Amino acid sequence: MTNLGRPRAARPPQRGLSTIAIVSLVATAVIVVLGMVALMLWPGGTPTPSQSASPGPGDPATRPSTPTAPASPSANPHPPGSCVFLSGTPEDPRLQPADCAADGRDGIVYEVVAAHEGIGTCGESMTQYTEYLGDVTTVTLCLAEVLVEGGCYAYTDQLAAVRRVDCPDGDFRVAQLVEEAGAECGPGEDQFSYAEWNRTYCLDSAS
């Protein structure tokens, strides 16, 4: 063990300190009394009621404090009407900007139908994407698949529910694309529609 040095011995008390303290205390009291007398005799020395200790309007103590706005998260880079690619995992989803006119061969394109600041609710057919800042929900995006009329698609177990494939492969084909919510489809076609988005997909067999 390294010896850091011996502890210092207590300093012996010095004599005469008590007498000096008493003399200093008496001298200080005399000076204070003389100062108060001089203040009362000096013109304008005694504060008047208008010169009270309460601060005036210009005093910093009376100025209203300016509230500090909480730091806001960065603006949503994916506003409604924009399109994105959805990748990653359910635990770590990721969005990348996409061309809404893309054919989906490089990944299914999603259109941002609605964006809610903070917590939001999406329609039953929508894909909901939520971003967080710590434990706080900053934005909720409601996404819808952008499918191509005549294109064939296969279901996947990935984050994006479907992927574009060559016909006649796949699980279904988009027979019609109608720019109307709840539009009727032809005989033998399955309707897939969004209540919040003016689009209906009419699906049939890929083969």
Residues 125-148: tens digit of each pLDDT = 899 999 888 999 999 999 999 999
Give Dmax over CA atoms of the chain in angstroms.
Answer: 115
Average pLDDT over residues 8-30: 34
List all residues 6 or more positions away from 121 whose beta carbon is below 8 Å from its beta carbon.
Answer: 140
127 vs 203: CA distance, rounded Å: 19
What residues pair up with 17 in beta bridges, in sequence order?
Answer: none
pLDDT of residue 16 exceeding 80: no
* Cβ contacts of 152 within 8 Å, gap of 6 or more: 164, 165, 166, 167, 168, 169, 170, 172, 173, 174, 206
**Tell me: the pLDDT tens digits for 91-130?**
888 899 999 999 998 899 999 999 999 999 998 889 999 9
Full-model pTM: 0.61
Beta bridge partners of 163: 154
For the segment 29-59, what is each residue's pLDDT rounded down to a tens digit? 434 444 444 444 445 444 444 433 333 333 3
DSSP string for 131-195: EEETTEEEEEEEEEEEPPTT-EEEE-SSSSSEEEE-TTSSSEEEEEEESSTT----TTPEEEEET
